[in-house]
Amino acid sequence: MTWLGVFSQLLEIVAALLLAPLLSGWINQWRAWLQNRSAPGLLQPYRMLHKLFNKESVIAEHASPLFRGAPYIIFGCMALASAIIPTLSTDLPLSPAADAIALVGLFALARVFVSLAAMDVGTSFGTLGARREMLIGFLAEPALLMVLFSVTTIVETLANRDLGIHPSLALAGVAFTMVSLAENARVPVDNPATHLELTMIHEALILEYSGRHLALLEWAASLKLFAYSCIGLALFFPWGVAEAEAPLALLLAMPALILKLAIGGALLALLETLSAKMRIFRVPEYLATAFLLAVIGMLVHILLAA
Amino acid sequence: MTNGWLPAAAQWVHIDWVLLVAAAWMLIGVAGVLALRRLTLVARVLFPLGGAFGLVLTGIALSAALSSPEVAVLPIGLPGLPFHFRLDSLSAFFLIVIGSVSAGVSAFAAGYFRKGEGTPPGLLAFEYHLFLASMALVVVADDAYAFMVMWETMALSSFFLVTANHRIVEIQRAGYLYLLIAHIGAIGILLCFGVLQANTGDYTFANMRAQQLSPFWASLAFLLALFGFGAKAGILPLHVWLPEAHPAAPSPVSALMSGVMLKTAIYGVLRVFFDLLDTPLWWWGLLLLVVGLATALFGVVFAAVQVDMKRLLAYSSIENIGLLFAAIGLAVLFSAYGMQPMAALALTAVLYHVAGHAFFKSLLFVGTGAVLHATSERNLGKLGGLIRTMPWVAWAMLVGVLASAGLPPLGGFVSEWLLLQSFLFSPALPSAFLNMLIPVVAALIALIAALASYTMVKFFGIIFLGQPREEKLALARDASGWERIGMAWLVGGCVLLGLFPVQFIALIDPVTRSLIGAGMADGVAAGGWLLVPVAIERASYGPAIFLLGVAASFALAFVLVRTLYHGRLRRAAPWDCGYPWQNARMQDTAEGFGQPIRQIFEPFFRMERELPTPFDVEPRYRVSVGDHFWHWLYLPLARAVERLAGVIGLMQQGRIAVYLLYSFATLITVLVVVKQ
Q: Which of B329, B335, B328 lies closest to B353, judged by CA?
A: B328
Whether residue A287 lies within 8 A of chain B, CB to CB, comes out as no
User: Which of B396 and A149 is assigned the larger pLDDT?
Assistant: B396
Greatest pairwise CA separation for chain B in angstroms:
103
User: What are the tens digits of pLDDT across the range B585-602?
Assistant: 888 888 888 888 988 898
ipTM of the complex: 0.93
Cβ separation B466–A122 shorter than 8 A? yes
**Nearest-CA distance B613 → chain A (Å):** 24
Look at A109 and B460 and tell me if their CB atoms are within 8 Å.
no
Summarize pLDDT for B223-253 with one digit per residue, the tens: 999 999 999 999 988 999 999 999 889 999 9
What is the nearest CA distance from A204 to chain B, expressed in angstroms?
Answer: 9
In chain A, which among 218-277 make CB contacts under 8 A with chain B?
none
**Which amino acid would we find at residue A169?**
L
Beta strand ranges found along A55-214 (DSSP E): 57-60
Distance CA B450, CA B460 (A): 16
Whether residues A153 and B385 touch (CB distance < 8 A) is answered with no
Residue to mutate among A9, A111, A124, A148, with most B CBs inside 10 A, is A124
CA separation, residue B104 to residues B47, B127, B246, B492 (Å) = 11, 18, 19, 10
Of B417, B538, B549, the CB nearest to A97: B549
Q: Given this model, what pLDDT does residue A243 score?
A: 66
Which amino acid is residue B606, in one-letter code? R
Pick from B384, B447, B550: which is nearest to A122 by CB? B384
Question: What's the average model confidence in pLDDT over B196-215?
Answer: 88
Which among B464, B554, B602 is the top mutation candidate for probing chain A, defined by the most A β-carbons within 10 Å of its own β-carbon?
A: B554
Determine the distance in angstroms separating the CA of B108 from the nearest CA of chain A, rounded to an integer.
25
CB B565 within 8 A of CB A56: no
**CA of B220, closest CA in chain A: separation in Å?**
35
Question: Does an H or E element contain B609, and which?
Answer: strand B605-610
State whether residue B86 is helix, strand or coil. strand
Q: Look at A137 and B442 and tell me if their CB atoms are within 8 Å.
A: no
Chain B contact present for A124, CB below 8 A: yes
Tell me, what's the pLDDT at B398? 96
Interchain contact, B549 vs A281, CB within 8 Å: no
- Asked if residue B415 lies in contact with residue B320, where contact means CB atoms within 8 angstroms, the answer is no
Instruction: Provide the residue count of chain B.
Output: 676
- Residues of chain B contacting residue A127, judged by C-beta atoms under 8 Å apart: 461, 466, 587-588, 592-593
Q: Taking CB atoms and an 8 Å cutoff, what residues of chain B touch A131?
A: 588, 592-593, 595-596
Kindly report the average pLDDT of chain A as a whole number: 86
The shortest CB-CB distance from A134 to any of B454, B465, B540 is to B454
Q: Which residues does chain B have within 8 Å of residue A199's beta carbon, measured at their own beta carbons?
A: none
Kindly report the CA angle at A104 between A101 and A108, in degrees rounded to 5? 135
Distance between A35 CA and the closest CA of chain B, angstroms: 28
Residue B527 DSSP code? T
Nearest to A261 by CA among A26, A49, A10: A26
A211: left (phi over 0), alpha (psi -120 to 50) or beta: left
Q: Tell me the pairing of strands B622-627 and B605-610.
A: antiparallel
Q: What residues does B625 pair with on adjacent strands?
A: B607
**Residue of chain A with shortest Cα separation from B387:** A64
Q: Which residue of A has its CA nearest to B538?
A: A99
- Best probe of the B interface among A49, A50, A80, by most B CBs < 10 A, is A80
Count CB neighbours of A18 within 10 A.
10
pLDDT digits (tens, 9 = 90+) for B304-314: 999 999 999 99
Phi-psi region of B199 (alpha: psi -120 to 50; beta: other; left: phi over 0): left
DSSP 3-state assignment of B622? strand
Cβ distance B575 to A149 less than 8 Å, yes or no, reads no
Tell me if B566 and A146 make a contact (CB, 8 A cut-off).
Answer: no
Q: In Å, how far from its chain's centre is CA B493?
A: 16
Helix orientation angle between B340-375 and B391-404, rounded to the nearest 10 degrees: 150
CB atoms within 10 A of CB B555: 12
Omega of the bond prior to B439 within 30 degrees of 0, cis? no
Interacting residues of B272 by C-beta distance below 8 A, sequence separation 6+:
B192, B196, B221, B222, B225, B229
Provide DSSP, B28-74: HHHHHHHTTT-HHHIIIIIHHHHHHHHHHHHHHHHHHHTSPPEEEEE
Alpha-carbon span B255 to B244, nearest angstrom: 14
Tell me which of B608 and A302 has the higher pLDDT. Answer: B608
Q: Which residue of B has its CA nearest to A207?
A: B576
Query: Inter-axis angle of helices B309-336 and B282-305, to 10 degrees?
Result: 160
Give the nearest chain A residue to B585 (CA atoms).
Answer: A124
Tell me the residues of chain B between 560 and 619 that have a Cβ less than 8 Å away from chain A.
561, 564-577, 582, 584, 586-588, 592-593, 595-596, 599-600
Query: Closest chain A residue to B563 measured between Cα atoms?
Result: A53
Angle at B637 between CA B636 and CA B643, to 5 degrees: 90
For A243-260, what is the mean pLDDT? Answer: 78
Output the average pLDDT for chain B. Answer: 88
Q: Give B4's DSSP letter.
A: S
pLDDT of residue B537: 54
Rounded CA gap, B54 and B556, in Å?
A: 41
Instruction: Decide: B75 and B252 in contact? Cβ < 8 Å.
Output: no
B442 to A75: CB separation less than 8 angstroms, yes or no: no
Q: Judge whether residue B409 has pLDDT over 90.
A: no
- End-to-end CA, chain A: 37
Cβ pairs bridging A and B (under 8 Å):
245
Taking an 8 Å cut-off on Cβ atoms, the answer to whether B582 and A123 are in contact is yes
- Poorest-confidence range of A45-54, B15-24, B261-270, B422-431? B422-431
% of chain A beyond a pLDDT of 70: 92
Q: What is the 3-state secondary structure (H, E, C) of B626-651?
A: EEHHHHHHHHHHHHHHHHHHHHHHCC
The angle at the Cα of B662, spanning B657 to B668, to the nearest 5 degrees, equals 125
Confidence at residue A195, expressed as pLDDT on a 0 to 100 scale? 66
Smallest CA–CA distance from A83 into chain B, residue: B549
pLDDT digits (tens, 9 = 90+) for B450-475: 999 999 999 999 999 988 988 888 88
Which residues in chain B have Cβ-Cβ distances shorter than 8 Å to A77? 550
Whether residue A80 contacts residue B382, with contact meaning beta carbons closer than 8 Å, is answered with no
- For chain B, give the percent of residues with pLDDT over 90: 49
Instruction: For chain A, positions 45-104, list CB contacts with chain B under 8 A.
Output: 53-54, 56-64, 66, 72-73, 75-77, 79-80, 83, 94, 96-102, 104
* Sign of the CA dihedral with B315 first, then B316, B321, and B327 last: positive
Task: Give dist(CA A140, CA A283) in Å, integer.
Answer: 10
Least confident span in B255-264, B325-334, B411-420: B411-420
- B-facing residues of A in 9-48 (CB < 8 A) are none
* A149 reaches B (C-beta below 8 A): yes
Residue B237 and residue B411: Cα distance in Å, rounded? 29
Q: Flag if A141 and B584 touch (Cβ within 8 Å).
A: no
Contact criterion met (CB below 8 Å) for B349 and B418:
yes
Q: Hey, which residues does B70 pair with through a beta bridge?
A: B87
Q: Which amino acid is at A243?
A: E
User: Would you say residue B495 has pLDDT above 60?
Assistant: yes
Contacts of B539 in chain A (CB under 8 A): 99-101
By CA distance, what is B576's nearest residue in A? A123
Give the angle subtended at the CA of B79 by the CAs of B74 and B84, to the nearest 5°. Answer: 30
Cβ atoms of B242 and B344 closer than 8 Å: no
What b/e string do you get for B296-315 counting C-beta neighbours within 10 Å, with b at 16 or more? bbbbbbbbbbbbbbbbbbbb
User: Angle formed by the axes of helices A65-84 and B543-564, to 10°?
Assistant: 120
Residue A106 and residue A81 in contact, taking contact as beta carbons nearer than 8 Å: yes
Torsion of CA A78, A84, A85, A91, to 10 degrees: 160
The amino acid that residue B77 corresponds to is G
Q: Which residues on chain B are in Cβ contact (under 8 Å) with A211? A: 568-569
Looking at residue A201, its amino acid is I
Q: Is the pLDDT of residue A160 over 50?
A: no
| CA-derived radius of gyration, chain A | 19
User: Does the beta-carbon distance from B572 to A60 stay under 8 Å?
Assistant: yes
| Chain B touched by A159 (CB under 8 Å) | no
B-chain residues within 8 Å CB-CB of A141? 446-447, 449-450
Q: Has residue B1 got a pLDDT over 50? A: no
The answer to whether the Cβ–Cβ distance between A97 and B588 falls below 8 Å is no
B64/B96 Cα distance (integer angstroms): 10
User: Is residue B95's pLDDT more than 90?
Assistant: yes
Which of A59, A100, A152 shows the shortest C-beta gap to B569? A59
Q: Is the peptide bond before A21 cis (omega within 30 degrees of 0)?
A: no
